[in-house]
Amino acid sequence: MSNALSPAALDQLFRTARTPTDWRAVPVGDDLIRELYDLTKWGPTSANSSPARFVWVRSPEGKAQLAELAMEQNRPKILAAPVTVIVGHDLDFPETMPKLFPARGEMMKQMFLRPGVAEITGFRNGSLQGGYLIVAARALGLDCGPMSGFDNAGVDRVFFAGTRIQSNFICCLGYGKPESIFPRNPRLTFDEAGRFA
């Protein structure tokens, strides 16, 4: 049984965390990206299927290719951010089940190979892992700029050629310029977003 994290930690993860639209020229090193993956990977997924796949785009060539495939207003963000990660999910993830769930790997693999199951399980759990990535990045002191405004099919052709990985969303990572943050929009109240039953 754990205690709640400190109010400052809850602020950093959720309450005061914001989405910058421009980025400081402060690099994000390999070690920090690996540490980010090593937090993200522990988040729970269906039968530990872990379908998310990540391309950490940071070379000038990679950024130019990705920016080219993004909506106009997202291009400068990708070019300015030290890293933009492409979050995808591998429709071939059932093949990994014997490794990821040794006790019942073959059974789980067959279950996920039923028609339509890999698509929905991959998208659901790859998105969950994307959520873990965003909160984990903030836990490590990074800012996040998640975006859906890009050509998914084009990104799949350029970054996931020869695989059945499908891009989901992309996310700038780094240290945002505070002056690039828009005023915060309202959220739904507890009662607007749900109910007790």
Count of residues in contact with its own copies, rule CB under 8 A: 77
**Shortest distance in whole angstroms from residue 106 CB to its own copies:** 15
In the region spanning residues 47 to 86, those forming contacts with its own copies, defined by CB under 8 A, are 48, 50, 52-59, 62
Q: What angle do CA 150, 90, 130 make, to 5 degrees?
A: 60
In the region spanning residues 127 to 166, those forming contacts with its own copies, defined by CB under 8 A, are 127-132, 134-136, 138-141, 144, 146, 148, 159
**Shortest distance in whole angstroms from residue 117 CB to its own copies:** 10
Q: Which residues of 51-66 are buried (b: 16+ CB within 10 A; e: fewer)?
A: bbbbbbbbeeebbebb
- What is the number of residues in the chain? 197
**Shortest distance in whole angstroms from residue 151 CB to its own copies:** 14
Of 3 and 179, the one with the shorter C-beta distance to its own copies is 3
CA-to-CA distance for 195 and 187, rounded, in angstroms?
16
**Residue 167, interface with its own copies (CB under 8 A)?**
no
Q: In a 10 Å sphere around its CB, with 0-12 CB exposed, 13-18 middle and 19+ buried, how is residue 98 labelled? A: middle
